[in-house]
Amino acid sequence: MADDGDEGWIQRCEIIPYFRNKRTFCQGVELFVYSEMEKAEKPKPLKCPCCGELRPESECCVFISQIAHDVPNKYYGTLDGDIIGNLYWLDAQKGKVDWACDNCLKQYQALRGKTKRQLFCGTAPHFAYFDKRTICRDCGMSFIFSKEQQVHYYEKLVFWVQAERVRCDLCQSLKKTRNQLSHLLANPDYNNLEQVKEVIAIRIVLKQYRQAKHFLAVAKRNQVTESISYLIFELLKKQIAEAELTDNSAER
Ligand SMILES: [Zn+2]
Ligand SMILES: [Zn+2]
């Protein structure tokens, strides 16, 4: 890239505004060309989204090296082909990028993102992960989307980078359970006792006792095989009754 090293172009990019309307290529590097040079105000330190502190460039070395080497085609420059800045640096100034200062990374308040593992990426990748507090869409409680979970989602499961988590752990697993239930109920096999037990167990987890009893009754009626004993049904019936009895929140 720039011959004068990272520091050179980062400093120069501070004083030049950028315009996204024109694009060109210079030695295979995509450049966003600005039409007019203006002097902007003094370089501002970046606000670290993890600790919230204002950090000068000297305390953003990891981020600077990440945007320079990990994603090397996001520069903008002059018509002559001089590279003068990195788009992610500008995005970070606007608070639109997940990154972290050197201090947060050193203290493991943030984990460094591996941008090459984030395959589905519309805008900026995650340059760093830090715990994020969010409100759960289902229960309305606040929960933490931890940095470790984020690494797992975006780099192991390779989820879309812009996808944010919207449910807490409990609601997430309840949703999974509900999906499992509707899958089972789509085509229930009442002669498959394991399946009957599974449906009952899920209904109990979801505190749907009335539906559990109803399903058991239907299953009993639709049973054709002799081998399946009356005892198992009695046992399941007892299970539902007990769960309902010990559940303080259940409607009586
Ligand atoms: Zn920080
Ligand atoms: Zn929730």
pLDDT band for position 124 (cuts 50, 70, 90): confident
For tokens 């929140």, the residue is 249
Cα–Cα nearest to 157, from 118, 126, 129: 118
pLDDT score, position 222: 79
47-89 confidence digits (pLDDT tens): 999 999 999 988 998 998 888 776 656 666 666 666 666 788 8
Distance 139 CA to ligand 2 centre (A): 4
Coil, helix or strand for 55?
A: strand
Distance 108 CA to ligand 1 centre (A): 10
Separation of 140 CA from ligand 2 center, angstroms?
A: 6
CA distance 34 to 72: 19
- Please answer whether residues 180 and 186 qualify as being in contact, where contact means their C-beta atoms are separated by less than 8 angstroms: no
pLDDT tens-digit profile of 191-240?
888 888 999 999 999 999 999 999 988 888 877 655 556 778 888 999 99
Q: 3-state DSSP call for residue 216?
A: helix
CA of 150 to the centre of ligand 1 (A): 18
Q: What is the mean pLDDT of the chain?
A: 78
Ligand nearest to the CA of 109: 1
- Give Cβ neighbours of residue 183 (< 8 Å, ≥ 6 apart): none
Q: How far is the CA of 228 from the centre of ligand 2 (A)?
A: 39
Ligand closest to Cα of 53 equals: 1
Terminal CA-CA length for the chain: 71
What's the whole-model pTM score? 0.64
